[in-house]
Amino acid sequence: MSKHHAGGRASSAMTALVLDTYGLTCHLCQRPGATTRDHLVPLARGGLDILDNCRPAHHRCNSRRQDRPLTPALLAEFRARVEAISVDPAAFFEDHDRQEAPRPPSIFSRNVSKKTLPTQESREGEA
């Protein structure tokens, strides 16, 4: 049996190092909230799991990219996506996988409660 077990603690330590070194801005969509490391040159394409080849990315962006080569077209795709969303991208990418831009929370849905209008007291005879 192979005792060689990659990943796990070493992997998360590497991610922590990447986030610590490069910050929390996702290198794909360029928004904050990155929680994973993405490889500039994917491992599947011969890239190494070293700091120099890693950049912070959202989990969602990371998995969306898969092993595609990092081209200007790919980056434009990610950034255009985020531009269209215009909500907190971290929340969007981490919590949802919606295809359409969600509506902003309605600030207009306040309860238009029936305000108790001041009763028109008919004042009579002030004479």
Q: Which residues here bind Zn ion, judged by CB under 5 A? A: 26, 28-29, 58, 61
When the beta carbons of 29 and 54 are compared against Zn ion, the nearer one is 29
- In Å, how far are 109, 118, 120, 121 from 126, measured between CA atoms? 44, 20, 15, 13
When the beta carbons of 18 and 29 are compared against Zn ion, the nearer one is 29
When the beta carbons of 28 and 70 are compared against Zn ion, the nearer one is 28
The least distance separating Zn ion from the CB of residue 114, rounded to whole angstroms, comes to 46
When the beta carbons of 10 and 21 are compared against Zn ion, the nearer one is 21
The least distance separating Zn ion from the CB of residue 110, rounded to whole angstroms, comes to 33
Residue nearest to Zn ion (CB): 26
Task: Write out the chain in H/E/C secondary structure.
Answer: CCCCCCCCHHHHHHHHHHHHHHCCECCCCCCECCCEEEECCCHHHCCCCCHHHEEEECHHHHHHHCCCCCCHHHHHHHHHHHHHHCCCHHHHHHHCCCCCCCCCCCCCCCCCCCCCCCCCCCCCCCC
The least distance separating Zn ion from the CB of residue 75, rounded to whole angstroms, comes to 11
The least distance separating Zn ion from the CB of residue 28, rounded to whole angstroms, comes to 5
